[in-house]
A and B are shown apart, each in its own frame.
Chain A
């Protein structure tokens, strides 16, 4: 019975924790411009993250090694350092976006800000990382994030014409007002939002934090293959709501208010309250995860002692580097830059960073020295190679598309 409870908790946490500010904003933007025409990207992105999170989790559970330790061991110091620099900087950008997201959510709730909320967000994130146990942190943020299901509820309350809504998903078409360059730019952005590298760093480091072993693999698989796709459905619901309310009126998403507008329209103040709680939980949880990821990547690369399961005094450099990252993120936001724009930039650069993270995972998942009998089978390798190809294409196309489409506004 206890086991079933643990599995259920893991799944629910995975659902609630799947969505972050990148998913929220990108899905809403895409929904407001293309309806569900880019739904196929979400499907592929979710499939990809399931495959690779499962691989990273298996590697961590069987070998006890987290992702960045493996990157260092397999790539060597020179290439590994290049990988670290790129991954770390992009992670820092995502961290900034998430902190900005927390501030925006608080602004939605309180009606003032977001500038004043930034120090609050930074301090709150730091305190939780400093003092709260890993499992409590994960579970609370994940479960509260389930309130985002209000988007699914809103979708039904808006009484959509299902045929009209679903058609673009199964027959992707280009609305006359948008160009192909813009379409593919948003496809890459959406892909980057679904497959953000920090999720893999965090998932595999979390497996080591919670001391998973081979016997936890079944639970891990349930979390990933049930939880993540359901989280993906949540993303689609956000896009669908935007498609129903924002697209017909040509409303552009430039703040979080537009993202929650469909929910307010469908269910009034109560629904809006749920949405705000959900967004706050999702962005706060994601801020915790990205901050920890920056600590994990640095500590694992340099061989420092790390982990929330250790007293901060036993993992000094790990905690200090996270504090510094939070300060840098806060500093970037303090310049007054629009957090929504930071978010849109972070998802595109996430797409660029994907091959750096995923290639080493694929290689190590095949290495009998780490995995013993649990090396990848032919099928997993087949899918792994297909996705690696997609990832590389997306990574290479990302920046040119960014420039050519002017961040989607062309």
Chain B
């Protein structure tokens, strides 16, 4: 499967509701072996309910200036979240379907992860 098959796809929760569209795909880079870069393992999806586009790194809390642009883009991506790959059940041609209820993990590293009742 291609990465572009995931980008822009809507994500459907277990009950069928839409959580937004996939804006980016997060990997974990394994340690290098000799002259080879480590493997990239898919660990999570970055999903935004408002936009299908990536926004230059501002929405992940790592680029801060200029202030006006950063604030504008942060507002545009205000409810973006990270959905662990473990929660995904299937990738259909027109949507990604989850198998379990995902935890709420805000994309912006400066927002705290809300505690959920067990």
Q: How far does the Cβ of B68 sit from chain A's closest Cβ, in whole Å?
A: 6
Q: When chains A and B are docked, how far (Å) is the Cα of A161 from the Cα of B109?
A: 64
The 8 Å CB contact of B63, one of A76, A367, A382, A385, is: A367
Q: Is A368 an interface residue (CB 8 A)?
A: yes
Kindly list chain A residues whose C-beta atoms are within 8 Å of the C-beta of B63: 363, 366-368
Are A366 and B64 in contact (CB-based, < 8 A)? Answer: yes
Q: Is A381 an interface residue (CB 8 A)?
A: yes
Are A375 and B56 in contact (CB-based, < 8 A)? Answer: no
Q: Is A369 an interface residue (CB 8 A)?
A: yes
Q: How many A-B residue pairs have CB under 8 A?
A: 31
Q: When chains A and B are docked, how far (Å) is the Cα of A363 from the Cα of B69?
A: 9
* Interface pairs (30), CB distance under 8 Å: A74-B56, A76-B53, A76-B54, A362-B66, A363-B56, A363-B63, A363-B69, A366-B63, A366-B64, A366-B65, A366-B66, A367-B56, A367-B57, A367-B63, A368-B62, A368-B63, A369-B57, A369-B62, A375-B65, A376-B65, A376-B66, A378-B65, A381-B65, A381-B66, A381-B67, A382-B66, A384-B66, A385-B66, A385-B68, A385-B69
Kindly list chain B residues whose C-beta atoms are within 8 Å of the C-beta of A74: 56
Interface of A is mostly: helix
List the A residue with the shortest CB-CB distance to B53.
Answer: A76
Q: How far does the Cβ of A72 sit from chain B's closest Cβ, in whole Å?
A: 13
Q: Which residues in window 43-57 of B have CB below 8 A to A?
A: 53-54, 56-57
The residue among B64, B66, B69 with the most chain A CB atoms within 10 A of its own CB is B66
Q: How far does the Cβ of B46 sit from chain A's closest Cβ, in whole Å?
A: 14
Q: How far does the Cβ of A74 sit from chain B's closest Cβ, in whole Å?
A: 5
Give chain A's interface residues, CB within 8 Å of chain B.
Answer: 74, 76, 362-363, 366-369, 375-376, 378, 381-382, 384-385
Closest 9 pairs between A and B when the two form their complex, measured CB to CB: A381-B66, A366-B65, A381-B65, A367-B63, A385-B66, A74-B56, A363-B56, A366-B63, A376-B65
Q: When chains A and B are docked, how far (Å) is the Cα of A377 from the Cα of B6?
A: 37
Q: When chains A and B are docked, how far (Å) is the Cα of A368 from the Cα of B56?
A: 12
Q: When chains A and B are docked, how far (Å) is the Cα of A381 from the Cα of B64?
A: 11
Kindly list chain A residues whose C-beta atoms are within 8 Å of the C-beta of B66: 362, 366, 376, 381-382, 384-385
List the A residue with the shortest CB-CB distance to B70.
Answer: A366
List the A residue with the shortest CB-CB distance to B68.
Answer: A385
Q: How far does the Cβ of B58 sit from chain A's closest Cβ, in whole Å?
A: 8
Q: When chains A and B are docked, how far (Å) is the Cα of A184 from the Cα of B64?
A: 36
Kindly list chain B residues whose C-beta atoms are within 8 Å of the C-beta of A384: 66
Kindly list chain A residues whose C-beta atoms are within 8 Å of the C-beta of B69: 362-363, 385
14 more CB-based (< 8 A) A-B contacts, given A363-B69, A368-B62, A381-B67:
A74-B56, A76-B53, A76-B54, A366-B65, A366-B66, A367-B63, A368-B63, A369-B57, A375-B65, A378-B65, A382-B66, A385-B66, A385-B68, A385-B69
List the B residue with the shortest CB-CB distance to A366.
Answer: B65
Kindly list chain A residues whose C-beta atoms are within 8 Å of the C-beta of B62: 368-369
Q: How far does the Cβ of A172 sit from chain B's closest Cβ, in whole Å?
A: 29
Q: How far does the Cβ of A247 sit from chain B's closest Cβ, in whole Å?
A: 41
List the A residue with the shortest CB-CB distance to B7.
Answer: A76
Kindly list chain B residues whose C-beta atoms are within 8 Å of the C-beta of A76: 53-54
Q: When chains A and B are docked, how far (Å) is the Cα of A384 from the Cα of B69?
A: 11
Kindly list chain A residues whose C-beta atoms are within 8 Å of the C-beta of B67: 381
List the A residue with the shortest CB-CB distance to B62.
Answer: A368
Q: When chains A and B are docked, how far (Å) is the Cα of A382 from the Cα of B69?
A: 11
Q: When chains A and B are docked, how far (Å) is the Cα of A6 from the Cα of B66?
A: 34
Q: When chains A and B are docked, how far (Å) is the Cα of A315 from the Cα of B62?
A: 36
Q: How far does the Cβ of A360 sit from chain B's closest Cβ, in whole Å?
A: 9
Q: When chains A and B are docked, how far (Å) is the Cα of A139 from the Cα of B68?
A: 40
Q: How far does the Cβ of B21 sit from chain A's closest Cβ, in whole Å?
A: 15
List the A residue with the shortest CB-CB distance to B57.
Answer: A367
The residue among A76, A362, A367, A369 with the most chain B CB atoms within 10 A of its own CB is A367
Q: When chains A and B are docked, how far (Å) is the Cα of A381 from the Cα of B70?
A: 12
Q: How far does the Cβ of B66 sit from chain A's closest Cβ, in whole Å?
A: 4
Kindly list chain A residues whose C-beta atoms are within 8 Å of the C-beta of B56: 74, 363, 367
Kindly list chain B residues whose C-beta atoms are within 8 Å of the C-beta of A368: 62-63
Q: How far does the Cβ of A70 sit from chain B's closest Cβ, in whole Å?
A: 10
Q: How far does the Cβ of A119 sit from chain B's closest Cβ, in whole Å?
A: 45
Q: When chains A and B are docked, how far (Å) is the Cα of A254 from the Cα of B9?
A: 57
The residue among A366, A369, A378 with the most chain B CB atoms within 10 A of its own CB is A366
Q: How far does the Cβ of B3 sit from chain A's closest Cβ, in whole Å?
A: 13
The residue among B54, B64, B65 with the most chain A CB atoms within 10 A of its own CB is B65
Q: How far does the Cβ of A365 sit from chain B's closest Cβ, in whole Å?
A: 9
Q: Which residues in window 79-98 of B have CB below 8 A to A?
A: none
Kindly list chain A residues whose C-beta atoms are within 8 Å of the C-beta of B68: 385
Q: How far does the Cβ of B64 sit from chain A's closest Cβ, in whole Å?
A: 7
Q: How far does the Cβ of A386 sit from chain B's closest Cβ, in whole Å?
A: 10
Q: When chains A and B are docked, how far (Å) is the Cα of A382 from the Cα of B68?
A: 10
